[in-house]
Amino acid sequence: MRMEPTPYDHPDAVKLQDAVQAEYAVRYESEGDATPLDPAMFVPPHGLYLLAYDDAGRPVASGAWRRQDENEEGYADGDAELKRMYVVPEARGLGLARGLLALLEEDARAAGRTRMVLETGTAQPEAIALYTSSGYEPCVKFGYYRHYETSRCYAKPLV
């Protein structure tokens, strides 16, 4: 497997974003994640979007972070927000999400970010298990879904 920086609007990235949105729609009986995102949010040094490719060159996992600072949605100065973590079903259990997470944390730290934050939901117990086993702890809710009962927010210091 290889992991490489990729533009957020690259066709391989869009393919995985569509897949994760379809999964959110099923898990949450909704139309997917409505958080406003722009490709510019993931351009270094303000963020990073990574794709993992299998040996046949197929995109099988994604993950990203974007810069956040104190604002009305509850973020704090120095935050890096984790976004679009996804592994295609046939590649789950191979450690790809954990590998992407480590690279994203390293990159955010190198960019001067002091805390990685993320929002997930109760319908994603696998995600919650990954994050809590990686040192993330529950925190005050923030972001687009902060008022939703099913929303869960986590944070991890990067310093």
Domains of the chain with bracketed CATH: 2-157 (3.40.630.30)
137 has pLDDT over 90: yes
1 has pLDDT over 90: no
Q: Give the residue from 116, 108, 118 showing the smallest Cα distance to 143.
A: 118
**Residue 75, both tokens:** 């973020």
Residue 32 phi, psi (nearest 5):
105, -170
**Top-confidence residue, 137 or 31:** 137
Task: For residue 124, name the pLDDT band (cuts at 50, 70, 90).
Answer: very high
Question: Contact 104/116 with Cβ under 8 angstroms?
Answer: yes
Mean pLDDT within 34-40: 94
Interval 65-91: pLDDT, tens? 999 999 999 999 999 999 999 999 999
Q: What is the mean pLDDT of the chain?
A: 96
Check residue 110 and give its pLDDT.
98
Mean pLDDT within 13-23: 96
30 has pLDDT over 90: no
- In total, the chain counts a number of residues equal to 159
Mean pLDDT within 105-109: 98
Written as one string, the DSSP assignment of the chain is -EEEE--TTSHHHHHHHHHHHHHHHHHHTSS-------GGGGSTTSEEEEEEE-TTS-EEEEEEEEEE-S-TTS--TTEEEEEEEEE-GGGTTSSHHHHHHHHHHHHHHHTT--EEEEEEETT-HHHHHHHHHTT-EE----STTTT-TTEEEEEEE--
The pTM (predicted TM-score) of the whole model is: 0.95
**Residue 4, both tokens:** 């490489």
Check residue 22 and give its pLDDT.
95
25 has pLDDT over 90: yes
Check residue 31 and give its pLDDT.
80
